[in-house]
Amino acid sequence: MKAFSIDRYQGEIKATDAREPVLGARDVLVRVRAAGTNQLDVKLAGGEFKALLKYELPLVLGHDLAGTVEAVGAAVTRFAVGDDVFARPADFRIGTFAERIAVDEADIARKPATLSMVEAAALPLVALTAWQALVEKAGVKPGQKVLIHGGAGGFGSIAVQLAKHLGAHVATTASGSNAEWLRELGADEVIDYRSQRFDELLSGYDVVVDSLGGENLERSLRILKPGGIAIGLAGPPDPDFARQLGLNPAVRLAVGGLSAKIRRQARRLGVRYSFLWMRADGEQLAAIAALVDAGALHPVVGRVFPFAETPAALAALGRGGFRGKVVVDLAG
């Protein structure tokens, strides 16, 4: 089958004739109709995670899909041939830049009825990240104050909507040209990162979700009220993440050291820092699909590329300059 893969880190992303998926007893075989692109694909191809995620090469990239079930394993009970579904496959089972993929039924959900395949493919990774940050880790409640960095991006545009649905007062950072659009999505305050400093304008926040790291994360700690939490998507990783990956004690110690400075800063300020590495979860995707069909969430698709131009789609993602997600259309 046709797919796009890398055979070495920092190498070319190229078309290949990949092996057909092997269907396990609890797997669902999906014909991919559309695949979302993510910074995770770019970083993975660049070798940023090779010390932690031991993938075998060549590796078919892609972490988001929407498609149609073509076959089911013997133990599958929740899906049937012909179902329209969407998913973020689990780590070590990625590969949505391909015509077909086998996904564990626990990691998949029925596609929101109100969305096209392209729209649905824009959702899984970013929506699960937003859910796990705001619902699981932060437990956002009505009336709390939440800052989402990078509101115009694929993750930010969904996180702003979800935080507003949860009843929060929502602030976000973005370019000034996106301010009115972000207010329509649900942002109460939009900080123009080009001309304003969010840490001089905001204070008393319960939650910050940071996708940039570095100085931006350190400044984010200062706007939290005592007991608040900063959730880092770009790192640095913390000991909980090392345990989640099942790393050995020596590696866990080394990984924990990467976040020691920011965790000390957080403790001095009376706040918390937590790194989030999102995981696949079909039940959460089903809850997200229900919110989409109820009108509470809607994906933002910035650009669409045909399957043959998957490398160009990833290059466009790296350049940025658009709202929402870049999606690869396999049906067009």
Q: What pLDDT was estimated at residue 30?
A: 98
Asked if the bond preceding 311 is cis, omega within 30° of 0, the reply is: no
Of all residues in the chain, what percent carry a pLDDT higher than 90?
A: 88
**pLDDT score for 257:** 86
- Identify whether the C-beta of residue 22 lies closer than 8 Å to the C-beta of residue 93: no
d(CA 71, CA 186): 40
pLDDT of residue 250: 77
What percent of the chain is predicted at pLDDT more than 70?
Answer: 100
State residue 332's pLDDT score: 66
Indicate the domain borders of the chain.
2-122+300-329, 125-275
Q: By the 8 A CB rule, do 63 and 12 touch?
A: no
| Domain spanning 125-275: CATH superfamily | NAD(P)-binding Rossmann-like Domain (3.40.50.720)
Cis peptide before 236 (omega within 30 of 0): yes
- Residues contacting residue 306 through CB under 8 Å, at least 6 positions apart: 328, 329, 332
How far apart CA 253 and CA 258 sit, in angstroms, is 9
The pLDDT value recorded for residue 126 is 98
Domain 2-122+300-329, CATH: 3.90.180.10
Token pair of 140 as six digits:
């956002």
pLDDT by residue (tens digit) across 201-226?
A: 999 999 999 999 999 999 999 999 99
Query: What ranges in the chain are assigned the alpha helix state H?
Result: 39-45, 117-121, 124-131, 154-165, 179-185, 198-201, 214-221, 239-245, 249-258, 260-269, 282-293, 310-319
Is residue 23 within 8 Å of residue 29, measured between CB atoms?
A: yes
Strand partners, 301: 325
Digitized pLDDT (tens) for each residue of the chain, 332 residues in all? 999 999 999 999 999 999 999 999 999 999 999 999 999 999 999 998 887 788 999 999 999 999 999 999 999 999 999 999 999 999 999 999 999 999 999 999 999 999 999 999 999 999 999 999 999 999 999 999 999 999 999 999 999 999 999 999 999 999 999 999 999 999 999 999 999 999 999 999 999 999 999 999 999 999 999 999 999 999 898 888 877 777 777 777 877 788 999 999 999 999 999 999 999 999 999 999 999 999 999 999 999 999 999 999 999 998 888 899 999 999 86
Instruction: Identify whether the C-beta of residue 266 lies closer than 8 Å to the C-beta of residue 230.
Output: yes
And the tokens for 3?
Answer: 């797919």
Cα separation, 48 vs 234, whole angstroms: 11
- pLDDT value of position 240: 82
Residues counted in the chain: 332
User: How far is residue 302's CA from residue 288's CA, in Å, rounded to a whole number?
Assistant: 20
